[in-house]
Amino acid sequence: MADNAADDLKTLEAQGLAELHGCADEAALRGWNTRFFGDKGLVKAALGKLSTIPKDQRGPYGKEVNRVKEDLTGAYDAALAEAKDKALQASLTANPLDVTLPGRSRPRGRLHPATQILRQIYAIFADLGFQVYRTREVETDELNFECLNMPAHHPARDMWDTFFTTTPGVVLRTHTSPGQIHVMREAAGKPIRVILPGMCYRNEAISTRSEIQFYQVEGLVIGEGVTMADLKGTITAFARRMFGPERQVRIRSSYFPFTEPSIEVDIDWPADDPNRDRLTKGTGWLEILGAGMVHPNVLRAGGYDPDKVTGFAFGMGPQRMLMLKHAIDDIRLFWQNDLRFLRQF
């Protein structure tokens, strides 16, 4: 083999290896590959030279050019694999991902305890044949008081500390009882058996037992021959379902202008609760509702004839019931939105 041809191949090999080792990454390596092994590449050119070599030297030249070709191919493959591995290692250490970490759970919401107890109340009264009826929170003085047998300046109005609006004669309802009038006027003489849940507002000193905003669930039953026994039976059946047979129900006589006779109903506070005396003012009982036989004047205001029909009504405090059920010692917790409290229900 001619010396200069053999030298050319040695130079090609040395140049190839040197440039290969200078390639910093995969892209550079691919450029190198085109330069040496592409159609117009240096190795191809060296192979093409074979025909210009004198016949007797072609054998050794061909062998040598093939050896150089294989040497460079092998070096390229190794360098490419190494570059890929390096890139992978770099990306792994740049964004460390710990696949053994537990997944991030999505916090689950739930119904507010007041909503939960309201739904329990609806369910119990649904079983007793009551429909749910909703009425407005902003009421007229006429429906909140007058139609309920409390004309202007009636002293019983003092039982409800009222929020007045800047519009004369418009108040935030102090109880759900004005709903009685709405239902009666809509039912127009037909028998009624409904509950009326909703928010009420009172301008009260906020304490552990009183809030300025709270839920009530009103009940109204009107028909021929409805009696006090029906009222007592309904309330007792409700209390048994809500609180269980072991809790005591106490019925006391009371006074409301819109019922005659009137009663109040208490449930005994859990006996083992250390806050019992404070929350029940030493009595052991907490009032959950006021009730009575609908006053004839109220029946008339609703368009019913008190000589033909009678009825009973009640107004209960669902939040008081929750307090009784779970020995919650502060009614203010309900609207403070403290998750430590709300999560317990």
Residue numbers of the site for ligand PHE (CB under 6 A)? Answer: 175, 177, 218, 256, 259, 290-292, 313-315
CB burial readout 124-141, b (16+ within 10 A) else e? bbeeeebeebebeeebbb
By beta-carbon proximity to ligand PHE, the closer residue of 79 and 200 is 200
Least spacing, CB of residue 192 vs ligand PHE, in Å = 13
By beta-carbon proximity to ligand PHE, the closer residue of 261 and 270 is 261
Nearest CA among 96, 108, 170, 107 for reference residue 140: 170
Least spacing, CB of residue 198 vs ligand PHE, in Å = 12
By beta-carbon proximity to ligand PHE, the closer residue of 118 and 313 is 313
By beta-carbon proximity to ligand PHE, the closer residue of 16 and 317 is 317
Which residue has the CB atom at the shortest distance from ligand PHE? 315
**Using alpha carbons only, how large is the chain's radius of gyration in Å?**
45
Q: Which residues contact 124 (CB under 8 A, 6 or more apart)?
A: 238, 241, 242
Residue with tokens 């040395």: 14
Least spacing, CB of residue 98 vs ligand PHE, in Å = 59
By beta-carbon proximity to ligand PHE, the closer residue of 157 and 276 is 157
Q: Largest alpha-carbon pair distance within the chain?
A: 138
By beta-carbon proximity to ligand PHE, the closer residue of 13 and 218 is 218
How many Å apart are CA 154 and CA 227, to the nearest integer? 27
CA 101 to chain centre: 26
Least spacing, CB of residue 102 vs ligand PHE, in Å = 51
Task: Provide the 10 A C-beta neighbour count for residue 1.
Answer: 17
Least spacing, CB of residue 286 vs ligand PHE, in Å = 14
Least spacing, CB of residue 131 vs ligand PHE, in Å = 17
Query: How are beta strands 192-201 and 259-268 bridged, if at all?
Result: unpaired
Least spacing, CB of residue 177 vs ligand PHE, in Å = 4
Phi/psi of residue 97, nearest 5 degrees = -120, 115
Least spacing, CB of residue 216 vs ligand PHE, in Å = 6
By beta-carbon proximity to ligand PHE, the closer residue of 79 and 148 is 148
By beta-carbon proximity to ligand PHE, the closer residue of 290 and 302 is 290
**Single-letter amino acid code for the residue at 36:** F
Least spacing, CB of residue 259 vs ligand PHE, in Å = 5
Helix (H, G, I), strand (E, B) or coil at 28: helix
Q: Which residues contact 285 (CB under 8 A, 6 or more apart)?
A: 250, 266, 267, 268, 269
Q: Is-contact 138 173, C-beta < 8 A?
A: yes
The residue count of the chain comes to 345
DSSP code at position 336: S
How many Å apart are CA 16 and CA 159, to the nearest integer? 102
By beta-carbon proximity to ligand PHE, the closer residue of 33 and 174 is 174
